[in-house]
Amino acid sequence: MTRESFHKYIKDLEKDVMDMGGMVTTAISRSIESLKSLDADAANRIISDDALINKKRWDIEEKCINLIATQQPVASDLREIIAVLSIVTELERMGDYAEGIGKIVLMHGREPLVKPLIDIPQMAEKTVAMLKKSLDAFLKRDEQAARTICSEDDEVDLLYEQVYRELLTCMIENPATITRATYLIWAAHNLERIADRVTNICERIVFLVTGTITEVNVSRY
Amino acid sequence: MEHSPKIEAVNLNLYYGDFLALEKVNIKVPGQNITAIIGPSGCGKSTLLRCFNRMNDLVERTRAEGKIIIDGSNILELDTDLISLRKKVGMVFQRPNVFDLSIYNNLKFGLRIHRMINGKDEIMQTIKVSLEHVGLWQDLKDKLKKNARTLTLEQQQRLCIARVIMLKPEIILLDEPCSVLDPISTLKIEDLLRVLKQEYTIVIVTHNMQQAARASDYTGFMYLGRLIEFGQTEQVFTKPKENLTENYISGRFG
C-alpha cells in the first residue's frame, strides 16, 4: 500500500483519541467515587489531573494540524481528522465536567450527604458506558452503533429528572439541606452534560461515515 | 539539529558569468533525512543542488564563492577529487535517463567506470541488492537483459536511483524526480525515498509544494537566489517564520 507512513499517522491519531477517552472515563468514575465518600484527596487529584487531559487535547490538535498541512488528506481521511478535532474538544469538556465534580466534593466538605447516592452513580455508569461504546464505534466506523448510543441519552436524562425531583423534595422538606442538595444537583447536571457530549461524538461518527452532518439526538435539556 | 550537518553551505555565492544566481546561501542539511528545496521557477534551487556535487562546473563561466562542507571537507577547493565527489554525492534527474542498454548493463556501467568490482558473481550480487533496495528485484530479476527503455517511467526512475546506489553514495540529490510521473508513481517514489533515508542523506528539489510537505523532514524555501527560510517541514508548513514563505506556500504569489 502506498503512503504507509501517512496511514500509520492516522492509526496513531486514533490511538491517541482512545488514550484520551481512557483518561476521561477514569476521571468521571473517580469523580463519582470521590463524591460518594467525600474524599477531598481524591478530588484534588482529579482536579490536578485535568491538566493532563487538556494537554492531551492540544497534542492531538497539533498532530491534526500538521497532518492537514503536510499530507493533504482528502475524502474519509480528511473527515476523520476533522472528526478527531471535534471529538477531542468534546472529551476535553467532559474532563472539565469531571473536574467540576471534584470541585463540588471540595465545596461540600465533610458534612454528610443529604441522601445515599444511588441514581447519581447510575448516571455515571451509563454515561461512562456510552462514552466507551462511542469510542469503539469511532474506531469501527459504526454508524448504526453511533445512532443507538444517542438514544441512550434519554435514559440519562430520565435519571437526571429523578435526581432533581428527589433533591427538590429534600430541600422543600428541610431547608437546611439546600446547599448540599444543590451541590448534588450540579454533580448530576455535569453527568447529564457529559452524556450530551457523547451524543455529539456520535454525530461526528455519522459524519465520518456518511459525510453528512446531522443532529442525531435532541437533548431534553 | 542535534548532529553535525552532512552538507553545509557557508556564505555561498554562485555566478553564471556576471549573473549572481545564488546569494549568501547558508544552509545545513541534516544527515539521513530528506531535505526539500522549494521556490518559484528561477529561484536557484536546482543551481544550489548542483553545487553539492559541483555539476555547475560543467556550465561555462560559473564561479563559486564561500564554502560547501561535506564531512569536514570544503568541496569548492580546487584540489577536490570530482570523480570521488560525484560517486559520494549521486544525482537523479527530472527525466529518467537510463542508457539505451539492458537493465543489467545500465547498472554495471557505473561499477565498470569506477572499477569497483570485477567478478561476475559479485557484480550480480551488487545489482540484486541495489534492485532490492529500490523495490525492482522481484519485477526485473528474470528480465535483466531487457532494454531499460522498455520499462515504465516509474521503473526507469527507480532504476536511475538503483544506478546511483550501486556506487555506494552517502548523499542522493534528486532534481524534480517525479515531475514526469503520474500521481501514484509519485507516491511510490516518495515511499521509496522514505526507506532510503535510513541509509542516505537525501536532498530533493521540487516545484511541487505538496510533495515537499508530504515527503520531506526539512524544507528550504528559496527566492531570487536567496535562502529565505529553512526548518523542519512541519514548522515551515504550519508556522513559517517569514512572510515571504507564508505567501509562497499559501499560493499568494509564485
- Chain B residues 171-200 with a CB less than 8 Å from chain A: 184, 187-188, 190-191, 194
B-chain residue closest to A70, CA distance? B213
- Cβ distance B234 to A2 less than 8 Å, yes or no, reads no
CA distance A196 to A218: 9
Q: What is the pLDDT of residues A99-150, one digit of tens each?
A: 999 999 999 999 999 999 999 999 999 999 999 999 999 999 999 999 999 9
CB-count burial class (<10 Å; 0-12, 13-18, 19+) for B243: exposed
Q: Express as a percent the part of chain B with pLDDT over 90.
A: 83
Q: What is the pLDDT of residues A172-215, one digit of tens each?
A: 999 999 999 999 999 999 999 999 999 999 999 999 999 988 88
- Cβ distance B214 to A71 less than 8 Å, yes or no, reads yes
Q: What is the pLDDT of residue A220?
A: 63
The pLDDT-based confidence of B122 (bands split at 50, 70, 90) is confident
Write the CB contacts of A163 (distance below 8 Å, at least 6 apart in sequence): A119, A120, A123, A184, A185, A188
**Mean pLDDT over residues B212-226, rounded?**
97
CA distance B73 to B140: 39
pLDDT value at B19 more than 80: yes
- Residue B238 has its nearest CB partner, among A3, A5, A69, at A69
What is the pLDDT of chain B when averaged over all its residues? 93
Q: Give the residue carrying C-alpha cell 521509496.
A: B192
Q: Which long-range contacts (CB under 8 A, 24 or more apart) does A159-168 make?
A: A159/A119, A159/A122, A159/A123, A159/A126, A159/A188, A160/A123, A160/A188, A160/A189, A160/A191, A160/A192, A160/A221, A161/A220, A162/A119, A163/A119, A163/A120, A163/A123, A163/A188, A164/A188, A166/A115, A166/A119, A167/A114, A167/A115
pLDDT value at B242 more than 60: yes
CA-wise closest residue to B215 among B230, B229, B194, B196: B194
Furthest CA-CA distance within chain A: 69
pLDDT value at B221 more than 90: yes
**Mean pLDDT over residues B222-232, rounded?**
97
Measure A68 CA to nearest chain B CA, in Å: 9
Q: Is B35 helix (H, G, I), strand (E, B) or coil?
A: strand
- Residue A3 has its nearest CB partner, among B187, B210, B237, at B187
Sheet holding B226-232, edge to edge: B89-92, B171-175, B201-205, B34-38, B218-223, B226-232
